[in-house]
């Protein structure tokens, strides 16, 4: 237990809240990303090999135009001393094979090369995308699975949104990065092949053209430096605009009822004009850079004509070779332009990678037994808490020396004010948190010796807030358990009085529910939660009664359903309603984490302690009302 | 489509001069761009001549080179001219796009502030946010991007093709043949790719929704030991997302392959037929090279045809969505400001009925009652009895379908909204707090209020302990980045926000549901003193709250079924008396002891 994170209190969860924006290039992070690419590495390598082949053809296409057609046919002087990379021989071979003219053969060659080149490029791009998509699908799966198993102590401290963006947006950023890598591969391979070709034709002219590269690189670097700050400002102002709008919309009634419209508009307008000014600044920089990168490359044409032209006049190279150089210009500038585009992606992705690995490395979990005890098929349902002391934070005990034995089939109501430790008690029973001081026994087996999944299968928990997963009513009752049949679901729903309202829904059990959907009332949600537990048929039931007020009729239905689901089950009820409490065999009064009283309603009333006072207050209140 | 785009015109007309200057700049940029191949042709021809002359006519190297100076310098000049004109025109047009986005944002914001609850029922916040953010973004792209790109395509085609014609009519005519195919392919795939990318986008939000819902319910998932099942469910969505993405990329890549293949077809025309023309002496080698360059020039923008069409379409539907918002008339028509004497708190309802637009039944039916200044009235009823509807009529968030509401004997719609809402304060059931300090939330209507006033009303709303518990007191920031208040604390903060205003009429919509009875008792004691001479309306479905009032009005299914004091109603043994009995049975026993002020874990 030394190297793993089992203690929430010893961990600093704030790293999940921290904003990681610009993250420097980090080869280690990149290496870790490739762990997910590796299983699909063969496909990736094939894809890159295809890119190499297609690039070679792409570079040879202008050679056919320049050397075969222009030099060979038009000028009529294909100087074989100047490299033609076999294209002239290939054309001659085709002429010999088909008996067609040289020009026709050259055209056929050009057509075939074009077709093959772009078909292979297409296959390269698709296989590359497939490799990346598969790798990241796996990563997303691993990440989701990992987060799915983090314990409650983790989710107590880390906002769900923070975890969600890691699974979605951050993996998406890596997708952009890897696809960007693919784009760069597609641009750089032809660049290097073209460069080699150019060197073999005219070293001096090639060197002249290479001068442009540092210029473009430096310009790109300056542009990134200049825009970094303004982009950050824009990001901030945009998120402020959105926040302001969202808040204004959410609280619109309050805004209107407080006559705050004008003031709020002024605030919004201030952010809006700040944003406009920043955007204007960014536009100026982007336009400057864009126009330079898009058009300056044409200067190279002048260089080629001047330097290359001189060589041609002197007979060092052919006219076709000069024209060949002009055709390569595009291949020269595109990798740099692409690099400029990928620059931001890279840094965003580095930050995302860091966030993803941060989450994957977060190993906080509840302790699982090394050698778990196997539970019998059906438990008796005996529960015992023995000298249980627990606190979420060190030194702040929420439970103090709690001991109680619950007999199989017994119904125990736990009563106590907010903060008395009621919910904590059931959280420990569900093994959502680790505890060290004291024991809990399930059928006399130490809870810490049972696998937590196994425990949760035997204990049905109805939480205050019934969480709806998007899906049908049926799905929500089954909750992914394939062993539960449709008939069992209906039987469960009937058992808890939910059948009537479910069948009155537009598609009955197949009606789609949405989270925070307004299509169910509080009471109906509660009944569905009961149905869920009844269908799962656990040996032990834990109910955290909802405090929300429900109208009187639904209340009656819930009470009835409650009776049904408690039948034959050891039940622990965190009760707020008198009626529920009276349903229980025994009542445990918890205050400040300690057991104050325990016994039946009658016993506790005789005791004239805390429980008695509570009841007195209740009835005293009523008597005041009658008098008033 | 055209119609909704035309509505954007006023936002461009504001900057007409810039717009036309930008457009002219675009045209000039194309001309400079198209001049470059012409000088390349000149250069190539000079090289060819120089090369031949070097061997045959004894032209010296210097002579040959001096003939190259002119085309080289001309190319450089053209490039610089093009860069400058491009910078100018792009800046002009992109700035107009930004200005339009700025104007639209402000207009949408101001317009939303005038809308009533009916509007917000029709449009969800998410929807409105999407319109205000994404749709304005798309409109900006139409103005700054699509319009510019369209002109670039048109100008390039016109300028490029004219130059080509000037070089060789025959060859150009032949080259024009495949052009429509290229445009069509670009158009077809552009649209398809757009549809697919939209699909992928939806897949992504589906993925996000799944993860978010799942994590929100993580406790339930774990409590039911359903982790593996959930991971399996996730995997289906995850796989589908990857598959959809692949479909998108396959199509995009196909377009990326088809375009150069079609362009290759044009190049073959130049190679085959052009070479023939060179041989016959119709054109020079330089012309051939220039034609290849023009082909590239004209084809490049054309492959964007699909993207441009899509941008126009998206912009048009974005514009339509925006104007759907901007065209919706506020449900409540305001009146020009007019002086009214301060209200006394006198209210009179005469046969008021209200029916929601999408419902058949009346939410309120024939409701009449009078309230004298200084009275405290409780309105009690079950969920759906019409209580909240009734309250909203007093601040004109809703307007009665029939009947009359008089305040100070004036029909309520005679007051300007600002005047009405300045004097009638409604504290809503859902206590919405802003991500601001606690103090600013309480003094929300007027940020100029003194600390004394804020403290006073906070105490009246039993917030004293809460404030003292925070180290930063009233300065404590609430919300996502700050402190989260408990339900009861939120309600009491909203109450303080209402109390501070000291309005002649105060309406509390079920503001005590999360407040324990003891605290409620305490608040009422203060409330009665504070509002002795002012009118207070309280809505509740709890008898324990209603009994504090001077008079209780019981609503059921939109009608008044009982009226009287607590004692009177109990004695008469009707609905109220039954409710009292039922509620004391199921009452929240533990509420008595509850420390509702605590922000503890155990809730």
Which residues, at least 6 apart from A57, have a Cβ–Cβ distance to it below 8 Å?
A113, A116, A117, A120
Strand partners, A459: A540
Q: Which residue, among B35, B61, B283, B291, has the nearest Cα to B176 in the 3D structure?
A: B291
Q: pLDDT tens across B139-173, in order?
A: 999 999 999 999 999 999 999 999 999 999 999 99
Last residue of a domain, one of B282, B310, B329: B282
How far is C-alpha A375 from the chain's CA centre? 36
Nearest CB neighbour to A115, from listed B112, B218, B261: B261
Q: Does the residue B459 lie in any domain?
A: yes
Is B222 in contact with A152 (CB distance < 8 Å)? yes
How many other CB atoms sit within 10 Å of the CB of residue B250?
15
Rounded CA separation A451/B521 (Å)? 49
- pLDDT for B548 equals 87
Please compute the mean of the pLDDT values over residues B85-104 and round it to a whole number.
96
Q: Does the residue B400 lie in any domain?
A: yes
A416 touches chain B (CB under 8 A): yes
Interface contact flag, A416 B590, Cβ < 8 Å: yes
Which residues, at least 6 apart from B86, have a Cβ–Cβ distance to it below 8 Å?
A287, A291, A294, A295, B25, B29
Interface contact flag, B587 A134, Cβ < 8 Å: no
Phi, psi of B296 (to 5 degrees): -60, -45
- DSSP 3-state of B347: strand
Interface contact flag, B547 A536, Cβ < 8 Å: no
Identify the sign of the CA torsion A473, A476, A480, A485: negative
Task: Provide the token pair at B581.
Answer: 């009995």
Same fold flag, A1-8+27-200+349-363 and A383-627: no
Q: pLDDT tens across B255-281, in order?
A: 889 988 999 999 999 999 999 999 998
Task: Indicate whether B439 and B530 sit together in one domain.
Answer: yes
Helix (H) or strand (E) holding B178: none
Strand partners, A577: B588
- pLDDT for A332 equals 80
Strand partners, B349: B369, B405
Task: Indicate whether B357 and B470 sit together in one domain.
Answer: yes
Helix (H) or strand (E) holding A138: helix A102-148
Give ipTM to 2 decimals: 0.84
Which residues, at least 6 apart from A588, have a Cβ–Cβ distance to it below 8 Å?
A404, A412, A413, A414, A415, A595, A597, A598
* Segments of chain A scoring below 50 in pLDDT: 1-9, 619-628
How far is C-alpha A194 from the chain's CA centre? 41
Interface contact flag, B272 A104, Cβ < 8 Å: yes
Rounded CA separation B543/B553 (Å)? 12
Give the domain range for residue B191: 169-282
Among A290-294, A576-580, B232-236, B493-497, the least confident range = A576-580
Q: Distance, in angstroms, between A8 CA and closest chain B CA?
A: 15
A376 touches chain B (CB under 8 A): no
Phi, psi of B436 (to 5 degrees): -140, 180
Q: Distance, in angstroms, between B237 CA and closest chain A CA?
A: 10
Last residue of a domain, one of B282, B303, B319: B282
CA distances from A394 to A5, A8, A122, A150 (A): 15, 10, 60, 21
Q: Which residue, among B380, B479, B190, has the nearest Cα to A551 in the 3D structure?
A: B380
CA distances from A621 to A211, B93, B537, B589 (A): 92, 73, 23, 11
Strand partners, A586: A412
Interface contact flag, A576 B44, Cβ < 8 Å: no
For A444, which DSSP code?
A: T
Which residues, at least 6 apart from B191, have a Cβ–Cβ distance to it below 8 Å?
B306, B309, B310
Domain boundaries along the sequence of chain A: 1-8+27-200+349-363, 203-316, 383-627
> Of 3.30.2130.10, 3.10.620.30, 3.40.1360.10, 3.40.50.300, which CATH number belongs to A383-627?
3.40.50.300
Phi, psi of B129 (to 5 degrees): -60, -45
Q: pLDDT tens across B394-431, in order?
A: 988 888 999 999 998 899 988 888 889 889 999 987 78
Q: Does the residue B164 lie in any domain?
A: no
Q: How many domains does chain B have?
A: 2
Interface contact flag, B79 A283, Cβ < 8 Å: no
How far is C-alpha A573 from the chain's CA centre? 36
Name the residue in chain B with its Cα closest to that of A135: B242
What b-and-e string marks burial along A190-226, b requiring 16 or more CB atoms within 10 Å of the CB? bbebbbebbeebbeebbebbeebeeebeebbeebeeb
B593/B374: higher pLDDT: B374
- pLDDT for A305 equals 93
pTM for the whole thing? 0.80
Interface contact flag, B87 A287, Cβ < 8 Å: yes
For B349, which DSSP code?
A: E
Q: Does the residue B73 lie in any domain?
A: no
CA distances from B29 to A240, B43, B81 (A): 38, 22, 8
**Total residue count of chain B as it appears in this document:** 603
Give the CA radius of gyration of chain B.
Answer: 37
Interface contact flag, A625 B543, Cβ < 8 Å: yes
- pLDDT for A551 equals 66
Q: Distance, in angstroms, between A307 CA and closest chain B CA?
A: 9
Locus of tokens 């190499």: A52
Q: Is A31 exposed, middle or buried (0-12, 13-18, 19+ CB in 10 A)?
A: exposed
Segment 555-574 of chain A within 8 Å of chain B by CB: 555
Confidence band for B601, pLDDT divided at 50, 70 and 90? very low
User: A with B: how many residue pairs have Cβ under 8 Å apart?
Assistant: 430
Residues of A in contact with B380 (CB under 8 A): none
Q: Which residue, among B279, B272, B275, B285, has the nearest Cα to A108 in the 3D structure?
A: B272
Q: Does the residue B29 lie in any domain?
A: no
Helix (H) or strand (E) holding A570: strand A570-574
Q: Which residue, among A478, A148, A162, has the nearest Cα to B221 in the 3D structure?
A: A148
Q: pLDDT tens across B363-384, in order?
A: 899 999 999 998 999 998 877 7
Is A98 in contact with A337 (CB distance < 8 Å)? no
Return the CATH number at B371.
3.40.50.300
- pLDDT for A21 equals 58
Identify the sign of the CA torsion B540, B542, B544, B550: positive
Rounded CA separation A126/A123 (Å)? 5
Give yes or no for residue B330 having a pLDDT over 70: yes
Mean pLDDT for chain B?
87
Q: Does the residue B524 lie in any domain?
A: yes
Is B500 in contact with B449 (CB distance < 8 Å)? yes
Rounded CA separation A158/A170 (Å)? 17
Locus of tokens 């008089």: B406
Q: Does the residue B249 lie in any domain?
A: yes
Q: Which residue, among A509, A494, A612, A510, has the nearest Cα to A560 in the 3D structure?
A: A494
Strand partners, A486: none
Among A183-192, A317-326, B297-306, B489-498, the least confident range = B297-306
Q: Does the residue B290 lie in any domain?
A: no
For B590, which DSSP code?
A: G
Give CB contacts under 8 A, 24+ apart, made by A153-157.
A153/A8, A153/A364, A153/A366, A153/A392, A153/A432, A153/A433, A154/A8, A154/A13, A154/A362, A154/A364, A155/B215, A155/B218, A155/B219, A156/A8, A156/A392, A156/B601, A157/A8, A157/A13, A157/A16
Q: Distance, in angstroms, between A404 CA and closest chain B CA?
A: 20
**Fold of the A1-8+27-200+349-363 domain:** ABC transporter transmembrane region fold (1.20.1560)
Please compute the mean of the pLDDT values over residues B460-469 and round it to a whole number.
86
Give yes or no for residue B585 having a pLDDT over 70: no
A520/B385: higher pLDDT: B385
Nearest CB neighbour to A126, from listed B253, B435, B444: B253
Task: Indicate whether B260 and B365 sit together in one domain.
Answer: no
A217 touches chain B (CB under 8 A): no
Rounded CA separation B369/B552 (Å)? 11
* Rounded (5°) CA angle A139-A145-A146: 90
Which residues, at least 6 apart from B217, have a Cβ–Cβ distance to it below 8 Å?
A467, A468, A469, A515
Interface contact flag, B222 A152, Cβ < 8 Å: yes
Q: Which residue, among B140, B206, B162, B135, has the nearest Cα to B30 in the 3D structure?
A: B162
Rounded CA separation A277/A47 (Å)? 45
Q: Is A522 exposed, middle or buried (0-12, 13-18, 19+ CB in 10 A)?
A: middle
């Amino acid at each position: 237990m030394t190297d793993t994170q089992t203690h929430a209190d010893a961990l600093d969860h704030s790293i999940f809240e921290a904003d990681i924006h610009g993250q420097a290039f980090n080869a280690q992070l990149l290496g870790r990303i490739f762990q997910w690419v590796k299983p699909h590495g063969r496909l990736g390598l094939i894809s890159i090999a295809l890119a190499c082949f297609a690039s070679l053809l792409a570079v040879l296409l202008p050679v056919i135009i320049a050397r075969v057609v222009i030099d060979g046919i038009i000028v009529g002087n294909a100087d074989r001393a100047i490299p033609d990379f076999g294209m002239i021989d290939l054309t001659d071979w085709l002429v010999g094979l088909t008996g067609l003219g040289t020009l026709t053969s050259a055209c056929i060659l050009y057509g075939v090369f074009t077709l093959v080149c772009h078909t292979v490029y297409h296959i390269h791009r698709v296989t590359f995308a497939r490799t990346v998509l598969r790798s990241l699908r796996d990563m997303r799966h691993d990440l989701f699975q990992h987060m799915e198993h983090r314990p409650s102590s983790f989710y107590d401290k880390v906002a769900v949104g923070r975890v969600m963006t890691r699974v979605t947006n951050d993996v998406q950023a890596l997708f952009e990065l890897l696809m960007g890598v693919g784009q760069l591969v597609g641009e750089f391979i032809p660049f290097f092949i073209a460069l080699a070709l150019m060197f073999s034709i005219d070293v001096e002219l090639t060197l002249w053209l290479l001068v442009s590269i540092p210029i473009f690189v430096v310009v790109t670097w300056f542009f990134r430096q200049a825009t970094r700050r303004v982009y950050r400002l824009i990001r901030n102002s945009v998120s402020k605009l959105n926040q302001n709008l969202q808040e204004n919309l959410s609280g619109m009634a309050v805004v209107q009822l407080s006559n705050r419209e004008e003031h709020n508009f002024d605030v919004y307008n201030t952010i809006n004009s700040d944003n406009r000014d920043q955007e204007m600044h960014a536009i100026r920089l982007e336009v400057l850079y864009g126009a330079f990168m898009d058009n300056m490359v044409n200067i190279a044409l002048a260089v080629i004509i001047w330097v290359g032209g001189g060589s041609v006049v002197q007979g060092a190279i052919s006219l076709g070779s000069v024209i060949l150089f002009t055709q390569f210009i595009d291949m020269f500038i595109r990798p740099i332009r692409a690099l400029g585009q990928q620059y931001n992606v890279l840094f965003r992705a580095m930050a995302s990678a860091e966030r993803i690995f941060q989450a994957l490395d977060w190993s906080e979990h509840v302790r699982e037994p090394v050698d778990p005890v196997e539970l019998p098929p059906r438990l008796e349902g005996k529960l015992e808490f023995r000298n249980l002391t627990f606190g979420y934070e060190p030194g702040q005990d929420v439970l103090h020396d709690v001991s109680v034995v619950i007999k199989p089939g017994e119904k125990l109501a736990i009563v106590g004010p907010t903060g008395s430790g009621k919910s904590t008690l059931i959280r420990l029973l569900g093994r959502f948190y680790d505890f060290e001081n004291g024991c809990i026994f399930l059928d006399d087996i130490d809870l810490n010796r049972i696998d937590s999944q196994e425990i949760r299968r035997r204990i049905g928990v109805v939480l205050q807030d019934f969480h709806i997963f998007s899906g049908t009513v049926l799905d929500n009752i089954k909750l992914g358990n394939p062993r539960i049949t449709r008939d069992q679901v209906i039987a469960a729903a009937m058992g808890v009085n939910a059948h009537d309202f479910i069948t009155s829904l537009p598609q009955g059990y197949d009606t789609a529910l949405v989270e925070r959907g307004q299509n169910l009332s509080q009471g109906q949600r509660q009944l569905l939660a009961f149905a869920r537990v009844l269908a799962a048929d656990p040996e032990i039931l834990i109910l955290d009664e909802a405090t929300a007020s429900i109208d009187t009729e639904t209340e009656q239905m819930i009470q009835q359903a409650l009776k049904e689901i408690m039948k034959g089950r050891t039940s622990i009820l965190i009760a707020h309603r008198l009626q529920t409490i009276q349903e229980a065999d025994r009542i445990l009064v918890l205050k400040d984490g300690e057991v104050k009283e325990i016994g039946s309603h009658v016993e506790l009333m005789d005791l004239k302690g805390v429980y008695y006072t509570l009841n007195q207050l209740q009835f005293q209140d009523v008597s005041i009302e009658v008098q008033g | 489509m055209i119609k909704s785009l035309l509505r954007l015109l006023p936002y461009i007309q504001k900057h007409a001069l810039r717009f036309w200057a930008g457009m002219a700049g675009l045209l000039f940029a194309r001309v400079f761009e198209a001049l470059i191949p012409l000088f390349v042709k000149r250069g190539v021809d000079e090289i060819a001549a120089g090369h031949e002359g070097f061997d045959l006519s004894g032209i010296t190297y210097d002579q040959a080179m001096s003939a190259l100076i002119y085309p080289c310098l001309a190319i450089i000049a053209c490039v610089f001219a093009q860069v400058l004109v491009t910078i100018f025109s792009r800046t002009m047009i992109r700035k107009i796009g930004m200005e339009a986005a700025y104007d639209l944002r402000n207009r949408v914001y101001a317009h939303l502030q005038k809308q009533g609850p009916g509007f917000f029922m029709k449009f969800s916040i998410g929807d409105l946010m999407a319109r205000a953010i994404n749709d304005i973004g798309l409109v900006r792209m139409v103005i700054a991007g699509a319009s510019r790109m369209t002109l670039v395509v048109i100008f390039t085609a016109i300028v490029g093709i004219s130059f080509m014609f000037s070089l060789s009519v025959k060859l150009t005519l032949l080259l024009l043949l495949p052009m429509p195919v290229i445009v069509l392919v670009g158009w077809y795939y552009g649209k398809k790719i757009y549809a697919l990318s939209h699909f992928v986008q939806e897949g992504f939000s589906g993925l996000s929704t799944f993860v978010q819902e799942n994590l929100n319910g993580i406790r339930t998932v774990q409590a039911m030991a359903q982790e593996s099942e959930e991971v399996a469910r996730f995997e289906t969505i995850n796989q589908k997302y990857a598959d959809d993405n692949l479909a998108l990329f396959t199509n995009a890549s196909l377009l990326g392959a088809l375009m150069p293949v079609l362009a290759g077809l044009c190049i073959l025309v130049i190679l085959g037929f052009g070479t023939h023309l060179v041989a016959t002496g119709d054109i020079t080698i330089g012309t051939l090279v220039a034609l290849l360059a023009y082909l590239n020039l004209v084809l490049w923008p054309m492959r964007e045809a699909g993207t441009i069409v899509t941008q126009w379409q998206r912009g048009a539907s974005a514009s339509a969505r925006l104007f759907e918002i901007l065209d919706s008339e506020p449900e409540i028509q305001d009146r020009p400001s007019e002086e009214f004497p301060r209200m006394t708190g006198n209210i009179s309802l005469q046969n008021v009925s209200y029916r929601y637009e999408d419902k058949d039944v009346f939410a309120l039916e024939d409701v009449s009652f009078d309230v004298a200044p200084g009275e405290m009235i409780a309105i009690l009823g079950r969920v759906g009895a019409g209580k909240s509807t009734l309250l909203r009529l007093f601040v004109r968030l809703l307007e009665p379908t029939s009947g009359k509401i008089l305040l100070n004997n004036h029909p309520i719609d005679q007051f300007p909204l600002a005047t009405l809402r300045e004097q009638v304060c409604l504290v809503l059931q859902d206590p919405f707090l802003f991500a601001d300090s606690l103090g600013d939330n309480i003094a929300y209507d007027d940020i100029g209020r003194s600390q004394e006033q804020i403290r006073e009303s906070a105490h009246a709303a039993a917030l004293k302990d809460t404030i003292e518990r925070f180290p930063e007191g009233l300065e404590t920031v609430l919300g996502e980045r700050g402190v989260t208040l408990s339900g009861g604390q939120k309600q009491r903060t909203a109450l303080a926000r209402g109390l501070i205003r000291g309005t002649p009429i105060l309406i509390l919509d079920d503001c005590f549901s999360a407040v324990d009875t003891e605290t409620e008792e305490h608040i009422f004691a203060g409330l009665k003193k504070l509002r002795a001479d002012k009118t207070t309306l309280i809505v509740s479905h709890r008898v324990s709250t209603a009994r504090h009032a001077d008079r209780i009005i019981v609503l059921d299914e939109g009608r008044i079924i009982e009226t009287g004091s607590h004692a009177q109603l109990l004695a008469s043994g009707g609905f109220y008396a039954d409710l009292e009995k039922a509620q004391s049975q199921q009452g929240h026993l533990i509420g008595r002891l509850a420390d509702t002020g605590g922000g503890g874990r155990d809730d």
